Structures are given as C-alpha cells and as structure tokens.
Structure 1
Amino acid sequence: MSRKYFGTDGIRGRVGQYPITPDFMLKLGWAAGMAFRRQGACRVLIGKDTRISGYMFESALEAGLSAAGADVMLLGPMPTPAIAYLTRTFHAEAGIVISASHNPHDDNGIKFFSGQGTKLPDDIELMIEELLDAPMTVVESAQLGKVSRINDAAGRYIEFCKSSVPTSTDFAGLKLVIDCAHGAAYKVAPSVFRELGAEVVVLSAQPNGLNINDQCGSTHTEALQAAVLAHQADFGIALDGDADRVLMVDHTGVLVDGDELLFIIARDLQERGKLRGGVVGTLMSNLGLELALAELQIPFVRAQVGDRYVIAELQERNWQLGGEGSGHLVCLQHTTTGDAIIAALQVMMALKRREQSLAEARQGLRKCPQVLLNVRFAGGENPVEHPTVQAACARVTERMAGRGRVLLRKSGTEPLVRVMVEGEDEVLVRGYAEELVGVVSEICA
C-alpha cells in the first residue's frame, strides 16, 4: 500500500490531502469520468510508471471511469510527457498519469492532462472536486465504458521524440550512457537515442516495482558519473522515474544540472534566430544563469518553484523555453510539458551544431555559489513573514550590494523553512546563510 497520496496536478489542493487508497482512486476515477462525460462522449488515457502500486491504482481508476460511462485506453508504463502527447494524438478528453515522479516506490500520485496535453480547465477541476463529495452512482449497463489497450504507444512516442530534431539527424560516433531510474522510460529512452545512431550504454532499466529511483536516476547520479568514465562515453543522461526531468554528465564525470542545460538550449535557439521571447526560470534558478543570459541579451524571469508555474509563465508571455535546476525543462516549441528525452535531444543538437563537448558548452555559464539550509519548525504561522526575519533578510541583501540574492520560503510539503543565499563569494554566502538560519531558528524556538 502506498504511504501517501503524493498529489494531483490539475485537481485543487484539498484532494492532495487524501491518503491514496484503492477506494479513493475508484471514486476519483468516477468523479473524473462524470465530469469529462458532461462535455459529451468521453475517452480517457491512463499511463503509469513502474512502481508496484500502479497496477492496483490503474485497476481502480479504470473501474471508476467505466462506472461513469467513460471509455478507457491503457498505455502501460510510459513517461509522463508521453501521456500528454498521446492524449492529443488520440483526441481523448483527458489523460491520467499514475506516478510519484522522482519519489521512492512507496509513494504514488496522480496527474491529469486535458485533451490538449495541458492542465485541466478550472471548471473541470471544480466539477471533479464537487463530485468527490457526491454519492457514487453507476450508469446503465449499456452505457458502461469500454476498456482497450494501445499496443503501439511506445513506438508512437519514440517517433514523436525523434521528430523534435531534423530528419537528417545522425548521432553516429557518439557514445552515451543513459540511466533510466528503473522507471517509465526504461524501454523507450534507449530506443530513441539508438535509432538516431548513437551508441547507448543503459543503466537501471530492470524495474521490479520496488527499485524505481532507488540509488539511480536524476536524484542519485553517482553510478552514472562512474559509468561515463568507465565506458569513456561522450556524456551521460539521467532521467527520473517518470522521465519528465533530466540531468546530464559530461565526459569528465561532472554533473550538468538543469540551469546549465537550459542555458545551452537557449543559446542555441538564439544563435539560430529561433528563440521566441526569453527564458523562464524559478526562484531557485542559479544567479549565474540570469547573468549568463543577460550577457547574451536574452530576457529572463523567475516563476514560483514548480514546473506548473514555469509553464504558466511561458504561456502568459508566449515564450517557449523554461525550466528548473532539478532538470524539469520545458520546450513548448515541441511539447506541452516537461520532457526529459526531448530536452536531452535539444542539448545534443546544440552540441552538434557548435561541434563542442558538453564540458565545453557548459563553460558559457559560471554558476554562483549557492547555499541552501533548512530550519525545522513546529507549524503554525509562517516564520518567513515574521518582521524580525524580514528585517534580517533586508540587512543581508543590503550588505550584498547587488552582487547576490536571498530567498527564504516555507516548504510546501514539510514543516521546513528553506534559507537560500547565493553570490560571488562562497565564504560570505555561507556566512550570510548561517546568520539567517540563526534568526529563523530563534523565531521558531
């Protein structure tokens, strides 16, 4: 049984408080099916990652949707961005992903996509919320939803990923190592890169339901870094459990994070005259990214932490490129959500055009030292908003004299205050961070 309901994307906050159990998933499937059916005939796609609870929750969702009269198409283990793409391709009313992303196997959660592969419209979200409180009824027997399986889903998604680069693309001569995190992309990711000509060494592609993200993937890159060196590869690619985030490793074994990958893609798009607008990062994006983009005269704005906020900002500005240091990279010119495989391909194409190694390409961005410390508190009022804490932040910011920045924020998932300070001098940055931790700790005591 899953330890917790990890969350929904596209359903409002109250739902995220429920334990994720089969009976709740049954009711959620029914509520979603009823809401989607009110728009007319209803077809819903369901995909999942490789964690063991996915089988149980898939069946419960399937039953609930069918009881509401919605037809269901099962995709099996597929990356989250693949469900977004296939929902559009099959003209379905919605897509559902059963996944807890980079979390361990005993977490699970749900993400919804609209028929356009984006977040659900507000009216549908609200309708599902209301239906969760209504008695569950079953449609007439003749109106029950049918269930089928899409057997060629993997092949369709592989071709979609390949279509994000020119048809003449050939990565012959490149050797790469890919860590699939024992997750949803364990079959499709190696195939994409092999079919484009690269020599591929595969790590962590033997899922057993319990080993997803376990000491592998984008949250644990040590094995990938060692493998890149051992195989003398050109670079390595690390995915997370549902393949919506990517980190890379250069040929020297150095980890290249999402900020650096975002810079490489943005610079390439600008050099080719294809960058629409600027780049969206988050409050946690390294100051070095902002400074490097400024040197290229590429506009940069910060959104709240979370890929949904990055996407919302991109859509608001009609821009196309954004992401987070964790590796959630969004290329809206190709897809509607974060896609690890497509982002990696854009980086590879940038390297190919410049005839550079990953190690050389990342030199265009000089990351500023960033210190992140956590302070635990008992709950209640947000310590960040306390006048004493606000005054301390203002003092530190003034002392940094425009050569750094301070960010304090309350965690959305744990009783923690996250204290982040970054600037040019690592010793000063750490000192400022520890000073702020002391002030917050006194307030929380």
Structure 2
Amino acid sequence: MNFDLASQPEFVQNLVSYALQGWDIAKGWLLSPAAWSQFGLLVAAFAAAWFLSKRLQPLLERFLTPEDGKVSILATIRRFFLIFVPLLLPLLAWAFTGIGEQATRALFGSGAVIAFGKRVFLLLAARILVREIITDGFLRVLGRFILLPIMALYTLGLLDLATARLNEMTIALGNIEFTVMAVIRGIIAGSILFWLGRWSNDQTGTYIHKQEELRPAARQLASKAAELVIYGIAFILLMSIIGIPLTSLAVLSGAIGVGLGFGLQKIASNYISGVILLLEGQATVGDYVELDNGMSGTIVQTTARAMILETFDGRWIVVPNEDFITTRVINYSDQGSSNRYEVPFSVSYKTDINVIPDIIENAVAKHPAVLSDPFPPDCEFRAFGESGVEFAVEFWVNGIDDGRYKYSSDVGFLIWNALKDNGIEIPYPHRVVEIRNQNT
C-alpha cells in the first residue's frame, strides 16, 4: 500500500508508518505455520491455567483464610496473601506460556507471537491488580493512569520507543533542563515514596502510641521525630532518583532560611515551641488547661504548629504553641493530679456552730469522688455575715468540676440534706423596713 503523505504533518506520517508496520507483522503471523502453532500453544496454556486455577483457588482461599478474630503475625500474613488469589489465573497462564515459548524457539527459532501472549497475560494481571486488589484510592489512581498505560505500551512492544522519545524531549526552567522522562520518573517515584512514607509513618505512630510505659509527651515527640526522619529519607531518595545533586540544594536552603527569618518566623516559632512542650511535658493530650486570656479546655490533639483544645460545650479552639511558652498557662490536670474545690454555705445564728464541721465533713466524705488523700474534706469558718454564720467546705477530687462531672453541685446537695437532717436552719436575708410619718 502506497500513500502520498508528504503534505501531512509529521505526527500523521509516524502514525501511518506504525500502523503499516503493525499490519505487516499481523499479516506475517496469519500466514506463518510457526505463528499458528504459537497461537495454539497460547490457547492451550490459557486452558491449562484456567483448569488448574479452578482447582487451586478454593484450596488457597481455605488455607489462607484465618479464623475470625485472630490478630497474630501469621494471620496477618495469611490475610495479605489472600487478597492476591485473583491473580492466580493470569500468572499461571503467563508461566505456562513461558514454558511454551522455550519449546517454540527451540523448534521454529521464533517466538514473537507467544512472547506477545505472555505480555498480554501480564497486562491482564495488572488490570486485575488495579481493579480488584488495590483498595487505597491513591494507589488505584496511580495504577489506572500510570501502571496500566505502561503495561499497554509494553504489551504492544512500544515501551522502549516511547521511553527513547521522552528522553529526547526536554523542558527548560531557566538554566536547568529536564527531560520529560525524568519528570515522569520523578512524579512516579515521588508518588510512591511519599505514599510509602505516609504508610510507614502511620504504622510507626501506631506502634509508638501503644508504648504505655512512655509518657504521653515522649510518645508525641517520638512520633514527630519519626515523621521527620521518614519524610526526610523519602525526599533525599527522590532527589537521587531525579538526578538532582544534594549540593545544589544549598541555594534553596538559603532561601528557606531567609523566608523563615522574615515571613515564616511565626510558623518557625510555633514549631520550636511545640518541640519544647513535648520535651518538657508541660502540657499534653488529655490535660485540662486555662490560658492567660481566659480560654480553657481539654487538649485533644497536638500538631507541629498548634494545640487543639476542646471546651465542655463541644467547641474546638486552635491555640498556637507559642502561647503555651510565652504566656501564663494553668494546668488543672497534669496527668492525673487532684484538684481542690470549695462550696460556701451559711447557717442561722441560732445554731451551735461547733457541731457544723463534723456534720458537713462526714456528709461530704460520703461522695465517691471525694478524696481523703492529699486531704479529707475540711469545713472552715469564714465570717459572721449579715444574715448568718458563713462557712465553706474544701474537698479534693481527681478531675475538673465541669462538663460531665459536677462535684460542687453534688456536694451542695449533700450539705443541704445534712443540715436538714440535723434540724439546722439555712438563713435567708432579713430586712427591717421603717416607715416614718413626715407630719409628726
């Protein structure tokens, strides 16, 4: 077939040239007895793989499926291999085709058709891997738009040609030039490295937080340090894969230093403050704190830049780490230390006030949350008021008198009931109103 393509664009000419080459290869296969024998071997290999996979797949599934509830290392390994059982058919077909290829090359000195069949089976395996096995959204996108196109080019025998063309194409950024292939390689390697970094960071963080013998602050610090190391290694490996020498990053690091000195000083200050807080353990997750500006809440999360407080009404407050260093912070929790509260009350002047401390202290001590250590309940005289004698009872508890715990409210009820049971009057204000007649 002769076509006059001189007036057509180069892209069209190349496309027609590849199409003609493909047609010549296909015509040669259709008319060659060796090609027909290879087609027959491909069919036989697939049939044998299908027959064997039907027998092996149920056995493998039963063997690799652990008992419900098992969390041992062996059970985890079995579950991991179980998800790859759907690859059994294409991999068996690929293996049988490889055996047939050796025989075909020995008999006919050619194996192009059967080699093409092997690549088709690998493409099928990649398709099953992306569509049925990979569950992570990022990896599935990576497989769909990178792995499958690469496997398709490999199957058609165009991978080397595409790679050579991409290596010839360059992108210039000032005085720096990159080949398109280097950019694609960097995108692929960067995606995989940082996904692995995220996965390993999650696994490391989970393992560190299970170490109960470490203080919460130490666990947080170890988790942050592991995160920096993991992503630092990923970045260095990526620079090496792309081909950028680390010495060329000196200018970049200098620019970052200038940026930190001017525009990013607050971020750097908050980050360093977070490291100091983790090292000293002044405040960590689970502590109830009150800041100098009146904000208060329980620390529910710590990040590199800030701490997140949850108030008792369910709101979250993001507080920069610097505020915990440069301002006054009251820590009511300190990982389990007790706190003292007091409830004021008064009794009538008709009361024998000498019996009040014993009555109130015994009543308050019955509350299950009130502690006897460091001090038991203590009822103290405060003042002779306008309407009665004023007292206050002090008591210690583990926790904060707010939210779901209402210690002062409970103690108030105990005081009321104790006074009523002992016939002690709780006074209320009395006022004497004098009416004067202006005419007398």
**Which TM class, normalised by the smaller chain length?**
under 0.3
Q: TM-score, normalised by structure 2?
A: 0.23
The structure richer in helix per residue is 2
Q: TM-score, normalised by structure 1?
A: 0.23
The structure richer in strand per residue is 1
